[in-house]
Amino acid sequence: MCPVISSELKILLWIQENLSHPILNKFFIFITTIGDAGLLWIAIGLFFIIQKKHRTLGILIILSLIGSLVMTNGILKN
């Protein structure tokens, strides 16, 4: 095994063994769930659309999400 990968694996295992806590596990499961299906980015886009000052940014975020959806699910996956 490559020495860099070996050292990274040792660091990862140390983190898993020494920094694990039930509250942190629930927190990061929640954070991961928010990221599913782009819900976080949709919420951020809508948040910016509501504000007049940043409406253009919100529209760009939503349009890029739609473009990404069309490109990945509509074209590349097929």
pLDDT, tens digit (0-9, with 9 covering 90-100), for 13-72: 998 888 888 888 898 888 888 878 788 899 999 999 999 999 999 999 999 999 999 999
Give the domain range for residue 26: 22-76
- Residue 11, in any domain of the structure: no
Q: What confidence score (pLDDT) does residue 25 get?
A: 86
- Residue 52, in any domain of the structure: yes
Domains of the chain: total: 1
Question: In which band, very low, low, confident or very high, does the pLDDT at 4 lie, cut at 50, 70 and 90?
Answer: confident
Query: Among residues 65, 13, 31, which one has the least CA distance to residue 57?
Result: 65
- Residue 56, in any domain of the structure: yes
Query: Among residues 54, 35, 53, which one has the least CA distance to residue 43?
Result: 35
Asked whether the beta carbons of 63 and 45 are under 8 A apart, the reply is: no
- Residue 60, in any domain of the structure: yes
